[in-house]
């Protein structure tokens, strides 16, 4: 990719293992500004681990990771990056905080120590809530929202500091199929209209490929990285390489138990 603008994200020869056994091997990845990258891979393939490396929560054993051209070790501009963790929804649902208060947290880093929320910050919070369509829920307790709405709250929290890159680790787990579609529409809109670069980790290859501009397939190594069209035309081959099984097993893997097997199968047929 010969981008004239610097890559938002640049990984070179990245290797990592929690113990001596490597979880990620020789990862090369470059994300251009304005793209919407879908990162797929089976359970345990190292997707969340890769996100933690990107965010500096873990340190790579080998290779370099650059965020906006700066090595992750010396990167300090965390406000430029929004992150919604795979675990975001697993907070204590009895926590007595309102939607407004939760979204406000996204500004705390930007506001800084020894400073307080001001009127303009409050307006920003309301704006972020408007963006995800939860304006009228601002005074509700977070635990009283549905799973899909809570996901939107966490997106709003990630968006409120106006990041240039938004990283989402399986944000649609436990969200019903209709909401998933709406959710992807929202992401697409953020990507198109706000120019936010998106990195979406997901299992849901079928639905995702209608929305993303690029796809990366991970299973310890990066098996594919390219434009969505290219991914779709080589999908079966890719799947086999990534999962090491035939395709019927994959369909099974994607069955989250919410939607039935048939439905899932039909959808991925349609994608081809």
Where on the chain is the footprint of ligand ATP (CB under 6 A)?
A: 18, 23, 41, 43-49, 86
CB of 193 to other proteins, least distance (A): 25
Q: Which does 49 bind (CB under 5 to 8 A by kind): Mg ion, other proteins, ligand ATP, none?
A: ligand ATP
* Cα–Cα distance, 46 to 48 (Å, whole number): 6
Q: Tell me how many helices (H) and strands (E) the chain has.
A: 10, 10
| Residue 119 or 272 having the CB closest to other proteins | 119
| Residue 170 or 251 having the CB closest to Mg ion | 170
Out of 17, 44, 71, 109, the residue judged to bind other proteins by CB under 8 A: 109
CB of 109 to other proteins, least distance (A): 3
CB of 87 to other proteins, least distance (A): 7
CB of 3 to ligand ATP, least distance (A): 27
Q: Which does 45 bind (CB under 5 to 8 A by kind): Mg ion, other proteins, ligand ATP, none?
A: ligand ATP
The reply on whether position 156 binds other proteins by CB under 8 A is: no
Q: 171: buried, middle or exposed (CB in 10 Å: 19+, 13-18, 0-12)?
A: buried
* Cα–Cα distance, 113 to 198 (Å, whole number): 29
Q: Which H/E stretch holds residue 129?
A: helix 119-131
* Cα–Cα distance, 206 to 61 (Å, whole number): 33
Q: Which does 126 bind (CB under 5 to 8 A by kind): ligand ATP, Mg ion, other proteins, none?
A: none
The reply on whether position 68 binds other proteins by CB under 8 A is: no
Listed ranges 30-38, 80-88, 201-209, 241-249: which one lies at the site for other proteins (CB under 8 A): 80-88
Out of 143, 195, 229, 244, the residue judged to bind other proteins by CB under 8 A: 143
* Cα–Cα distance, 214 to 187 (Å, whole number): 14
> Which residues of the chain form beta strands (DSSP E)?
9-16, 24-31, 36-40, 62-67, 70-71, 81-84, 165-169, 197-202, 214-219, 221-227
CB of 114 to other proteins, least distance (A): 6
CB of 4 to other proteins, least distance (A): 30
For residues 104 and 117, the answer to whether their CB atoms sit within 8 Å is yes
Q: 270: buried, middle or exposed (CB in 10 Å: 19+, 13-18, 0-12)?
A: exposed
SS3 content of the chain, % helix, strand, coil (to 5): 45, 20, 35
Out of 12, 15, 30, 48, the residue judged to bind Mg ion by CB under 5 A: 48
Task: Give the footprint of other proteins on this chain (CB under 8 A).
Answer: 55, 57, 76, 78-79, 83, 85, 87-88, 91-98, 100-102, 104-106, 108-109, 111, 113-114, 116-117, 139, 141, 143-144, 157
Task: Give the footprint of Mg ion on this chain (CB under 5 A).
Answer: 47-48, 86
């Amino acid at each position: 990719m010969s981008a004239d603008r610097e890559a938002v994200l640049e990984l070179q020869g990245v290797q990592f293992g929690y113990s001596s056994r490597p979880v990620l091997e020789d990862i090369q990845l470059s994300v251009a500004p304005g793209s919407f990258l879908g990162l797929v891979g089976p359970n345990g393939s190292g997707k969340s681990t890769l996100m933690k490396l990107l965010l500096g929560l873990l340190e790579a054993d080998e290779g370099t990771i650059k965020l906006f051209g700066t090595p992750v070790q010396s990167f300090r501009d965390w406000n430029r990056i929004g992150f919604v963790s795979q675990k975001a929804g697993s907070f204590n649902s009895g926590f007595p905080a309102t939607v407004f208060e939760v979204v406000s947290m996204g500004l705390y880093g930007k506001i800084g120590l020894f400073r307080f929320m001001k009127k303009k910050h409050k307006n920003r919070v309301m704006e972020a809530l408007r963006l995800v369509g939860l304006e009228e829920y601002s005074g509700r307790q977070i635990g009283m929202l549905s799973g899909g709405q809570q996901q939107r709250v966490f997106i709003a929290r990630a968006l409120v500091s106006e990041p240039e890159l938004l990283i989402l680790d399986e944000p649609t787990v436990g969200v019903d199929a209709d909401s998933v579609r709406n959710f992807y529409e929202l992401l697409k809109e953020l990507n198109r209209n706000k120019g936010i670069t998106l990195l979406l980790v997901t299992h849901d290859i079928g639905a995702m490929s209608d929305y993303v501009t690029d796809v990366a397939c991970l299973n310890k190594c990066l098996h594919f990285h390219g434009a969505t069209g290219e991914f779709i035309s080589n999908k079966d081959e890719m799947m086999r390489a990534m999962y090491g099984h035939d395709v019927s097993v994959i369909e099974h893997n994607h069955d989250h138990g919410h939607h039935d097997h048939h439905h899932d199968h039909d959808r991925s047929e349609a994608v081809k």
